[in-house]
Structure 1
């Protein structure tokens, strides 16, 4: 399956606060917060949700096409992604801008406070998916991640109008979209991705009930942190897949992106939703144990061992099939 991944491409500035954010907040002063956190560590890493997901897909052998807008500082990042199986033909360089920046603090409870500077990402709506498809061939699936909101709406409309399957992953940009825009971003999606907080925000933004959301999408996948993943489909009972136990939390940045890469690899290679989610959780555990969203290297034998420890031998055998079968066909 050929996947085009659209969304943010960024440099991550990751900081560690040796305390708890909750201890710094005064309940009756929340309307006038003025805080400065002294952090002990700073890591500058490659990131951006689209680039992170494409990196994972590339390492798993799917050769994804990355689509996004970057600045004049992208050359080294381009070489890195290309070396890890990502086709960057869909990336547009805007020489007068800088690539987006993600600045994030993580406390001892793995809570995060973040800011995102869009930079060149503001130009993403200028990328023509139709022109890209004519040059490289139409993808089987377009993953629409957090990006310039105008670009996200444009890509979603293009997919619906042309009949291309798409996955909606609006994540952080739910805070920037109104009711009509949020409904438009997810209506007709084959896959809808969110974390637990985003799922609640999505319901608030759309004004829809959970059942109404499910009537507009194929499968809704919600990551639940240490509790695993919930998979919902219209008219069916929810399926919850537990996370990999016993993983030391080093840095949670990019864990959800790795899950998406593993999950989409699984479904593209014919795995059941449960097995695909187990593969996604195994890959997410790799990221959780390192610093930064692209600091891991895929070792298929190790992923199978992780799946066996977490889910048993039969489940690991199914995950193994998804890792070693050549990708073919279209989205499940």
Structure 2
């Protein structure tokens, strides 16, 4: 059984600011904002939601199929995916474009400011969700606007249950479009802020949102996550990380564990518990794809 992961492949340039963003920004001067941050540390990592989710799934022994687009600079990313044993059949190169690029700056309180160049990701809709018996599960994660809309329709038409994970792409859609995503989806996964925005735009609360899907997950970082099923909430406590080094990609690591559990037919609470555990391991490593899951985690999965 394989899971089709619709989303971005991107290069992440991650910079560390040793101060606090809040102390550098004057709230009453936002209309003339002009700030500069000294970032002594800088690294470039493989990232993008599809890549990060696929990495987590593969670490857990799953069969991820990332469906994404890369640019003329993406050969190294293809090689990396293949070296990890991740099938790249649905990764397409777009000539004349760069691979999506995220520039992420993190302060000492783990607040983040991100600039994102979509590049080849804007052509992600050219690849269609196939009807194949081995593809039994999918996810719509942040991607090009057209791709997210079309792939959701294609999953539904193919009878493939999928997770709707709007993430940073949520602001691209109005309430009518978001309600349509929810009608098509089997599960919805959001963080606390995204959950509030999603409900606000549709005009419902979390309880009602959960009645429209099989399961709703609201992640809350170190506090764990809330699971909503048919209007009822269950809290799954977080796991204390050995160190808090870099939050980049934690949500994607969590979603990789969610997909792995759903592949196995687990109840949502067990999927969430594994997600909390994988997220805690990820936050102790720099970059979204540089952590390693030990045998104990893999065996538990």
Per the normalisation by structure 1, the TM-score is 0.87
Deviation at 1:10, TM superposition (A): 0.1
Alignment RMSD: 1.5
| Contact 1:124–1:148 (CA under 8 A) maintained in structure 2 | yes
Q: 1:141 aligns with which of 134, 137, 144?
A: 137
Is contact 1:68-1:92 (8 Å) kept?
yes
What is the number of residues matched between the two proteins?
301
Q: Specify the alignment match of 1:327 in structure 2.
A: none
2:169 is aligned with 1:164: no
- CA-CA distance at 1:110 after TM superposition: 0.5
Give 5+ residue unaligned stretches, structure 1. 305-319, 324-332
Deviation at 1:188, TM superposition (A): 3.1
Return the alpha-carbon distance in structure 1 between the equivalents of residues 189 and 231 of structure 2: 18
User: Which residue of the partner structure matches residue 210 of structure 1?
Assistant: 206
Give structure 2 stretches of 5+ with no counterpart: none
In the other structure, the counterpart of 1:174 is 170
Name the structure 2 match of 1:96: 96
Give the conservation status (yes or no) of the 8 Å contact 1:226–1:243: yes
Q: Distance in 2 between matches of 1:72 and 1:159?
A: 28
Does the CA-based 8 Å contact 1:170-1:185 persist in structure 2?
Answer: no
Q: Which moved more, 1:278-287 or 1:141-150?
A: 278-287
- Which residue in the other structure is 1:310 paired with? none
Q: State the alpha-carbon separation in 1 of the partners of residues 278 and 115 from structure 2.
A: 26
TM-score w.r.t. structure 2 length?
0.95
Q: 2-side partners of 1:117 and 1:158: how far apart?
A: 26
**Residue 87 (structure 2) aligns with:** 87
Output one character per residue of 1:96-135: Cα deviation in whole Å (capped at 9) or x when no partner.
Answer: 11100011110011000101100000101111213xx45x
Structure-2 separation of matches of 1:290 and 1:246:
10
SS in 2 for 1:89: coil
| 1:230 alignment counterpart | 226
Counterpart of 1:23? 23
The alpha carbon displacement at 1:175 in A equals 1.4
Say yes or no: does 1:259 pair with 2:254. Answer: yes
**1:138 Cα deviation after fit:** 5.2
Contact 1:69 1:91 (C-alpha < 8 Å) held by counterparts: yes
Q: How far did residue 246 of structure 1 move?
A: 4.5
1:221 aligns with 2:225: no
The reply on whether 1:243 has 2:238 as its aligned counterpart is yes
Judge which range, 183-192 or 195-204, deviates more. Answer: 183-192
Contact 1:56 1:261 in 2 (8 A): yes
Runs in 1 of length 4+ with deviation above 6 angstroms? none
Preserved contact between residue 64 and residue 85 of structure 1 (Cα < 8 Å) = no
**Does structure 2 retain, via aligned residues, the 8 Å contact 1:101–1:117?**
yes
